[in-house]
């Protein structure tokens, strides 16, 4: 099995799951950048948290890497672009610390409103400063939520219970949907003008770095208090410190900083600022969830299976309906390549029936995994399949149609002189090959198969069966494909093992045999 390099503390339960699956889990904590480059060769997976920097140099050194797993949400410490170029899947655990982070946001919001850390420090230092640390109520105040994603919505729900008025800025959220949860959408400029408090819940991107800057703070409602439990760098810390010093901004509560770890900041000397050392995801429950989730995602990636939380796969999201078709799509691609004995210049994939209503991009990636898996000198994944197609000069065209004449759903692959189609049948969704090179068949896509084209005349089935019998190859299943003219000129046979090349040659030598293709 695979070697998995772990460079930061991960919950033991997740790591044990990987060991139980037969993988070698190599835990190396506290590596320097140079040491990481030295030990990453030979690792198929790299599991990290927020401290390890997965740079282009690390990815270039990790020639065997299949997947990088981040036990958490943020990925600003991973060069995702370089990983994608090298066909390395990047996965995270986006739901593991959602609740924990929302709760920490509320804790910081309350601490800022009621000056809890400052009052505590004074009291344990021997000073009873009841008048000095007078706070404000949250009730009837306006909370501006910047980023109304999963965490932002949880914060909004909890703030609503405190009697706060809720406004939000998020260019990707529909105003009507926000209104349904009691949130009014508005521009960022307007939000800072009307809010008594704002909380940040955005990812760190070139567009969000320095989002809260000097100019925006100057527009803010006097006395505004800011809470950031998202990512460091979203706030210009120097500008925020100055706005607090002059009294325009009432205070801040920060869990994240531009540079981490850090013990120095212009904000640390300000009495109206509350800080914590990136504790947003630091609960036992969140760490257990992150460890379990990332172990599951890494295991799926190493097995070449669909990975729900792959961030650099163009179609990482898939409905439950679509996921059922993933193994079939990949197997159809494998069989197509075996039949074609080469790659077509144009590969056409069609999705017909009810499945056409779904996002089928992940199915196209599955087809490409199957098509190129047997002819490529590097492992084919959901990440690098499109690149491999482009490098090999194969144009991929996928189309969808709601009309499927004979089946509820049908996946068809055509290219050159060959074509194959498959579907799922019955309540259990069992896979079937139903079309092969224009012939109608009905056969499960077995591990080992033999496709024989022959003249439509008596004795052909007996001849093929006899050669297989003499060679000790057992026939598990068989179907005769009929063309539109009704000719039974195709035999599709499932065998108990791979049919040796010399046995295939013996069948080819038979009178009336047109072609023989072994699959698997």
pLDDT score for 441: 87
Q: pLDDT (tens digit, 9 = 90+) per residue, 61-81?
A: 999 999 999 998 778 899 988
Q: How far is CA 167 from the centre of its chain?
A: 30
DSSP calls for 105-116:
HHHHHHHHHHTH
User: Which CATH number is 3-95+285-302's, of 1.20.140.10, 3.10.450.50, 3.40.50.11540, 3.40.50.720?
Assistant: 3.40.50.720
Q: Residues 495-501: what's their mean pLDDT?
A: 91
- Tokens (6 digits) for 459: 């004795």
Residue 379 has pLDDT above 70, yes or no: no
pLDDT score for 488: 57
pLDDT score for 395: 93
| Separation between Cα atoms, residue 86 and residue 80, nearest integer Å | 10
Give the number of C-alpha atoms closer than 13 A to the C-alpha of residue 327, restricted to the C-beta side: 11
Q: Residues 9-20: what's their mean pLDDT?
A: 90
Residue 368 has pLDDT above 70, yes or no: yes
pLDDT score for 407: 85
Q: Among 33-37, 116-120, 402-406, 442-446, where is mean pLDDT lowest?
A: 402-406
The domain covering 98-275 belongs, at the CATH homologous superfamily level, to NAD(P)-binding Rossmann-like Domain (3.40.50.720)
Higher pLDDT, 312 or 39: 39
pLDDT-above-70 percentage for the chain: 96
Domain 320-519 classified CATH 3.30.1330.90? Answer: yes
| Separation between Cα atoms, residue 160 and residue 75, nearest integer Å | 30
Residue 486 has pLDDT above 90, yes or no: no
Whether 3-95+285-302 and 320-519 share one fold: the answer is: no
| Separation between Cα atoms, residue 333 and residue 343, nearest integer Å | 11
Confidence of residue 318 (pLDDT cuts 50, 70, 90): low
Residue 178 has pLDDT above 60, yes or no: yes
Q: Residues 232-247: what's their mean pLDDT?
A: 96
Sheet with 439-443: strands ordered across: 395-401, 346-353, 409-415, 418-425, 430-436, 439-443, 475-482, 488-495, 449-454, 513-519
Domain boundaries, the chain: 3-95+285-302, 98-275, 320-519
Pairing outcome for strands 449-454 and 513-519: antiparallel
Helix or strand (DSSP H, E) at 430: strand 430-436
pLDDT score for 217: 97
Peptide bond into 261 cis (omega under 30): yes
| Separation between Cα atoms, residue 340 and residue 259, nearest integer Å | 55
| Separation between Cα atoms, residue 183 and residue 185, nearest integer Å | 6
**Chain-wide mean pLDDT for the chain?**
90
Give the number of C-alpha atoms closer than 13 A to the C-alpha of residue 149, restricted to the C-beta side: 13
3-state secondary structure of 477: strand
Report how far apart, in Å, the C-alpha atoms of 481 and of each of 333, 433, 438, 452, 453 are.
19, 11, 9, 10, 9
Cα Rg of the chain, angstroms: 30
pLDDT score for 362: 85
Contacts of 39 by beta carbon, 8 Å cutoff, 6+ apart = 5, 26, 28, 31
Known catalytic residues? 231, 260, 278
Higher pLDDT, 434 or 487: 434
Confidence of residue 315 (pLDDT cuts 50, 70, 90): low
């Amino acid at each position: 099995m695979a070697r998995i390099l772990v460079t930061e503390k991960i919950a033991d339960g997740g790591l044990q799951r990987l060991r139980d699956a037969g993988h070698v889990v190599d835990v190396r904590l506290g590596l320097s950048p140079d040491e990481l480059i030295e030990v990453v060769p030979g690792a198929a997976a790299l599991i990290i948290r927020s401290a390890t920097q997965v740079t282009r140099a690390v990815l270039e050194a990790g020639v065997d890497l299949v997947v990088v797993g981040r036990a958490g949400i943020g990925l600003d410490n991973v060069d995702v672009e370089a990983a994608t170029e090298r066909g390395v899947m990047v996965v995270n655990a986006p739901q593991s610390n959602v609740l924990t982070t929302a709760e920490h946001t509320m804790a910081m919001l309350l601490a800022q409103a009621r000056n809890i850390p400052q009052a505590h420090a004074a009291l344990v230092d021997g000073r009873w400063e009841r008048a000095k640390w007078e706070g404000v109520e949250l009730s009837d105040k306006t909370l501006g939520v910047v980023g109304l994603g999963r965490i932002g919505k949880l914060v909004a729900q909890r703030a609503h219970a405190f009697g706060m008025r809720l406004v939000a800025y998020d260019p990707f959220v529909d105003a009507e949907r926000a209104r349904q949860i009691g949130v009014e959408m508005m521009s960022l400029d307007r939000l800072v003008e009307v809010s008594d408090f704002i909380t940040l819940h955005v990812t760190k991107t070139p567009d969000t770095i320095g989002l809260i800057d000097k100019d925006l703070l100057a527009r803010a409602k006097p006395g505004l208090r800011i809470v950031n439990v998202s990512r460091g760098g979203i706030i210009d810390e120097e500008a925020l410190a100055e706005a607090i010093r002059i009294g325009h901004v009432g205070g801040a509560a920060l869990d994240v900083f531009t540079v981490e770890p850090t013990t120095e900041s212009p904000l640390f000397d300000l009495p109206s600022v509350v800080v914590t050392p990136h504790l947003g995801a630091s609960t036992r429950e969140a760490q257990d969830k992150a460890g379990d989730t990332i172990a599951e995602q890494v295991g799926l990636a190493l097995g070449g299976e669909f990975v729900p939380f792959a961030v650099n796969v163009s179609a990482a999201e898939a409905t439950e309906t679509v996921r059922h078709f993933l193994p079939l799509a990949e197997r159809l691609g494998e069989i197509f390549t075996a039949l074609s004995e080469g790659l077509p210049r144009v590969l056409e994939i069609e999705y017909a029936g009810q499945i056409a209503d779904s996002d089928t991009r992940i199915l196209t990636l599955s087809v490409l995994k199957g098509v190129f898996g047997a002819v490529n000198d590097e492992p084919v994944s959901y990440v690098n399949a499109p690149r491999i197609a482009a490098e090999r000069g194969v144009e991929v065209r996928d189309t969808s149609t709601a009309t499927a004449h004979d089946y509820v759903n049908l996946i068809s692959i055509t290219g050159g002189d060959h074509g194959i189609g498959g579907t799922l049948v019955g309540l259990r969704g069992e896979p079937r090959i139903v079309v092969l090179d224009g012939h109608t068949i009905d056969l499960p896509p077995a591990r080992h198969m033999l496709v024989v084209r022959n003249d439509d005349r008596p004795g052909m089935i007996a001849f093929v069966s006899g050669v297989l019998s003499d060679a000790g190859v057992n026939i598990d299943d068989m179907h005769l494909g009929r063309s539109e003219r009704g000719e039974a000129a195709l035999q599709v046979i499932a065998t108990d093992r791979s049919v040796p090349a010399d046995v295939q040659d013996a069948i080819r030598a038979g009178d009336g045999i047109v072609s023989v293709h072994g699959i698997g």
